[in-house]
Structures are given as structure tokens and as C-alpha cells.
Amino acid sequence: MMRSQPSATSDGPRVGDYRLLTKIGEGGMGVVHLAQAPDGRRVALKVLRPHIIGDDEARRRLSREVASLRRVTSPRIAEIIDADPWAETPFVATRYVPGLSLHEHIRQEGPIKGDDLRWFAAGLAEAVIAVHDVGVLHRDIKPSNVLLEGRSPVLIDFGLARLAEDPRLTMTGWLLGTPGYLAPEILYGDDATTASDVHSWAATVVFAATGAPPFGRGPAMAIMDRVRRGEHDLSAVPSDLLPILRQCLEPDPVDRLSMAALLSTLHNRVPHPRADQDEFTMPYSLLATDDDPTDLLRTDVLRAGLATKSIEDAPTTTAPELWRPLPSGLAKFQRGCLLSGMFAVVTVGFALAPYLSLALVALAALAIRAISWTTESALERQRLRGRRRWYDGPLTTVSLPWYVVVATGGTLMLLLWSTAVALIVGLAYLPFGLPLVPGLLFMGGVLAFSLWWGPGSRRVRVPVRKLVVRATRRTWLGWVASGALVAVVLLVAFALISDGVIWDPQPGPPWREGTMLGDVVDFL
């Protein structure tokens, strides 16, 4: 049923069944009003601008987003109460939070200090996790999108940022988000991930702690350049939060902590709530009830649940102590060792057995690209539905052969490019009459570099880097993996010294006598 656009009646302007009371906010995507619902409740009603929602595809996207976000059941979120993406004037109604935004609170009261800051950081992390748990990214975490209810944060304006996928926003010069709070990968044009929200969470917590944005002020382009370079100012951040925030603001998303890991660390530093504290100043993990998690968690339900449960008996939904983050320098050193070891394996392996190495590299690149496509497809299905289904595993397995076909074209392009570059380098080396093995090592290094940075390499590079990051999350595992790569390099080098170059399955190098390349080399 189509609802009417904003109209004036005898009791004031309306949007659908909601009576507008006063405007409380405005942004590029819409205007937020304090409104009265048909049952008398006050709600925050966001009326989206017509040029943002202008076609059926955008409305379907908003409809899917609203359907996912209705499952969020955290008091840290201004949950959706009603929405109509198909109205002449689309709107979204959320719980009204009668508090200042973090931006206004800092302007009036100054930075948040001590235990209140740690409480704020943990509460905001819980809010972000609640959104991620239904398969949605926030994409626009910043001080003006965080309201303070008492001393606890409430995240607003979530999920609607997916409307940025509308290409008309780019064509008209829109940049969704605030420079200084957007993650570097978004500024580079890459897709947002949960790690992007981690970066925005950290920037917002830095603002709460210091009263200043971590990447400074000034022209938008200057701020965005500092974000890309990771040039932040954390000098006023409390020392106990500094390691967490520094790692969450890493320019490379694979170097950042996960939300579960940082929340686990924060909970170890947040003081236990007193029994007489107001419920909305407690961590969400202490507010769990036995109500159906698919229902919107309302204030009256929350209070009723607390009336029948003591804090000591409340179930815990906090993230377990998954892992302790490595010191930043050690983690980066181990990752450098692993990547260097992989580079060395390709280089020395090519010098030992060029044809066989090319075949193994081709199979590895194809496997990595196919698994990347398959995993990305599975995650997209989960995002659209909001949760995993029992058949996700079998469906992912069955779809793998198709994605092998999909990955073949890009793999061939990458291999042809890398092989051609390595061959050109080899042809430039041979006329000087220098030893063969150093030339093959040089060609192998060029091949490895081209595979890492050549056309279509991103779908190889990103999964490999994620694997390296996971391997270094435990110190011992990082050293074991590094040691294994060193052993492989030494064994291959020993075989090269002992047996020389192995040209199987061909009788010799591609530039041997009687071949076209051989004639070219003789001519040179």
C-alpha cells in the first residue's frame, strides 16, 4: 500500500501515519523529524530525499536492508520500528533517543574520560557487532551518528548507507560519509567490509577521548590523504586504549583487529556494573533476556527482563578471549617473513624447474581465485538473507566448479602477463652470455612480482594476505609457518645446486637451437 508524501493536515504535517513535530536533524540523504506514531509514541522519522531514492532498484535495496535490520535486538541501536520504501516519499521510523549526539556532547561537556570512556568504547563496539550479526555494514560511524543515552552510546542512521551503491551518487559528486571517519579502502574505491566499520569505530572513539578527530581538520582532500597514509594523532588517547585504537586505525584492513577481538579486550578493562546502575548504562551482554531474538527489543521488554533476573544470573553473550593481538612490530615482521618466503619459493622454484613451476603456480592461482569467488558469493547470499541457512555449506561446495570456470579467464590473463614479462627479462639477459642460473633466478623474481601486482592479481593478493594475517595471530604459528617456508627454499636451492636446472617435460629451454626464440637469441 502506497503512503502519501508529507502533507499538512489540521493537526500538522504528516508522513503516512506519522505526525511531524519538529525537525531534529538533516543530512545529505534525508531529513530527520521528531514525530508521533499512531499509538502516541515519539519516534525519529527519517524522510529520504527523492533524488536519493528514485527508482525501483534503489527501493528494493532499501527494502532488503530494512528487512535485515529489523532483526537487530540491541539497546545500543536505535532499532527500526516502521518503514515504507515504496511510499511516494520513502521513510524509516526508529526508536527516539532523547540524548545529545557525541559531537554535541563533546562540544558542551568536553572529552569523555576514565571508566566512562572505556564504557563508551565497549558499548559502541557492541552496537557495531549487533549490526554485523544480521549481515549488514553500517558504513557511516561518526560522532554525529552516535547518541548518548545516559553515558551509553546508541548507534543511529545505520544500514541506510548501502544506498551509496546507487551510481547516481557518484555521478553527482556525492561522497557518503565524513572525511576522517571513512576507512582508507573506501577512499580508494574498494568495497566496504566489517574492517571498514572497525576503522570508523576507532576514529569515533578517538574523538570521544580527545575531543578532536584523529586525522585532524582542514580541507577534505588533506584529511583524506592523511587517512590513506595512516597519519593520525593519538597523543591524547589514554595509554590503556592506545594499542587497540592504533591497530584498529591501520591503513590496511587486514592489519586491524576484528570487532569480536577488540570487544573481548575492552570487556577485560571495563569495570563491573553496580547493582543499582540504570540498565541503559550496562553492557548489552548483561541485558540478555529469553525473549525471541527476532522481535524488536523494546524498553518495556528490557525492563521486564531485568526485573526477573539478577545481574549475576544474566547470560553472557560477550565474545570469548579469542586471541591476544601481537605487538604491532612483531606481527608485521612475521608477515614480512611469510610473504618474502613465498616470493623466494616462486623465485628459486622457477630457477630449478621452470616449466613445472609455471604449472604449479597456475594451479595455485586458479585455486585461490576460485575459492575467493565462491566465498564472496556465499557471503553475499548471507548478507541478503541476514543469517546462515543449513544448506549454505552444500550450496557453496556445489557452486565451486562453476567459479573455477569463472576464475579461469582472469587466471590466464595474469599468467600470460607474468610469463611474458619474465620472458622479456630473460631475453634481455641472455645476449650478454652470463651464467644461466642467476638469469633464471632473476626471471623467477620478476615472475613472482608480476603475479603479485599484475592485472587480475588482486583476487590472488588479498586472500593470500588474509591467510598470512591469520597465520600470525598466534606467535608460534607465525614462526612455524616462516620456518617451513625457509626449509622449502633451502631444499629447492640444494636441489638446484646439486642437479642443475630441470627442463622437464621439455628437452630444454624455450630459446634452445631450432626454436623461434633460439633464432632470436642467436640474432641478438
Helix or strand (DSSP H, E) at 214: none
Per-residue DSSP letters for 322-386?
Answer: --PPPPHHHHHHHHHHHHHHHHHHHHHHHHH-HHHHHHHHHHHHHHHHHHHHHHHHHHHHHHHHS
Note whether 99 and 126 are within 8 A (CB): no
Domain ranges of the chain: 7-307, 328-523
> Does the structural domain 7-307 have CATH classification 1.25.40.10?
no
End-to-end CA distance of the chain: 78
Contacts of 393 (CB under 8 A, 6+ apart): none
Question: Distance between alpha carbon 2 and the CA centroid of its chain, in Å?
Answer: 36
User: Tens-of-pLDDT digits for all 524 residues of the chain?
Assistant: 334 445 554 466 888 788 888 888 776 567 888 898 888 889 888 887 766 666 676 677 677 767 767 777 788 988 888 888 888 778 888 888 888 899 999 989 899 998 899 999 999 999 999 888 877 788 889 998 899 988 889 998 764 444 434 433 333 334 456 788 999 988 887 778 889 999 999 999 999 999 999 999 888 888 988 998 889 999 999 998 999 999 999 988 888 888 888 888 887 654 433 333 333 333 333 333 333 332 322 333 333 333 333 323 333 333 333 334 444 568 788 888 999 999 999 999 999 999 999 999 999 999 999 998 898 888 777 665 555 677 778 888 888 899 999 999 999 999 999 999 998 888 788 777 778 888 899 999 999 999 998 888 888 998 898 888 888 877 888 899 999 999 999 999 999 999 888 888 877 777 666 565 555 555 55
Q: 209: which 3 cell numbers?
A: 577521548
Phi-psi category of 391—alpha, beta or left, where left has phi over 0 and alpha has psi -120 to 50?
alpha
* CA 471 to mean position of chain CA atoms: 19
- Whether the model pTM is above 0.85: no
Q: Which residues pair with 404 in a beta bridge?
A: none
Residues recognised as catalytic: 140
CA 22, 43, 105: angle at the middle one, nearest 5?
70
- Cβ density class 189-222: b for 16+ within 10 Å, e for less: eeebbbbbbbbbbbbbbbbbbbeebbbeeeeeee
* Crossing angle of helices 354-385 and 436-453, rounded to 10°: 10
Q: Using a CB cutoff of 8 Å and minimum separation of 24, what contacts does 223-226 make?
A: 223/179, 223/180, 224/179, 224/180, 224/182, 224/187
Nearest to 213 by CA among 76, 77, 99, 102: 102
- The residues near 49 (Cβ < 8 Å, ≥ 6 apart) are 28, 29, 30, 31
Helices (DSSP H) in 134-237: which residue ranges?
167-171, 184-187, 194-210, 220-229
Listed residue (136, 148, 169, 155) closest to 68, CA to CA: 136
